[in-house]
Amino acid sequence: MTEAFVLGGVRTAFARYGSSLSHIRLDDLLGMTMKGACERVGMGLDQIEDIVAGCVNPAHEGMGDVARWAALAAGFPDSVAGATLNRFCASSLSATINVAHAIKAGDLGVGIACGVESMSRSGWAYMKGDARSHRADPSCCSTRCGRVPAGRPIRHCWHAMPTSA
């Protein structure tokens, strides 16, 4: 059985909500990071076969597959596949496990496992309450919230990312 190895890693700096990284789109942020990781280990972008990115809220930039869009934005060839995985608190870990399993199974030679999130750029959902056509309660809830149980006000949103991480 083929062994899987981590060749290197790169991460962005931590930044406060709404501060220095908030103007950078999610796909651009991830793309720059993936490209930097390849440069650091001396791997060409055309040598990467697959990218699996963990992301809880990829749709807030108007895209569903942030891994694919990030790869294209960073200059990876069109042939590099990309998939975005959402497991809430374990998305990046699950991405890493998926890439390692594919390598060990012989289905993949070289892949990138990564994760990206931007709290500053995350979307907000307005809940409609019981009304069908208008917002009965103008409260809003971060789309990072895992579930709003029926009949409960937004403040009782449970399994929210900041509290479950």
Locate the domains of the chain by residue range.
Answer: 26-115, 124-164
- Per-residue pLDDT of the chain (165 residues), as tens digits, is 789 999 998 988 788 888 888 888 888 999 999 999 999 999 999 999 999 999 887 766 656 789 999 999 999 999 999 999 988 888 999 999 999 999 999 999 999 999 998 878 776 665 555 656 555 444 555 554 444 445 555 444 444 444 444
* 76 burial type by CB count under 10 A (0-12 exposed, 13-18 middle, 19+ buried): buried
pTM of the model: 0.76
For residue 27, the 8-state DSSP code is H
Output the CA–CA distances (angstroms, integers) from residue 110 to 40, 68, 81, 99, 101, in the order listed.
Answer: 15, 16, 12, 9, 12
| CATH class name, domain 26-115 | alpha beta
Residue ranges in the chain assigned as alpha helix (H): 26-41, 66-74, 91-104, 161-164
As to burial, measured by CB atoms within 10 angstroms (0-12 exposed, 13-18 middle, 19+ buried), residue 80 is: buried
Distance CA 95, CA 101 (A): 10
Q: Map tokens 């790169």 to a residue.
A: 10
Residues 6+ apart with CB under 8 A from 103: 2, 3, 4, 109, 111
Q: Give the model's pLDDT for residue 83.
A: 94
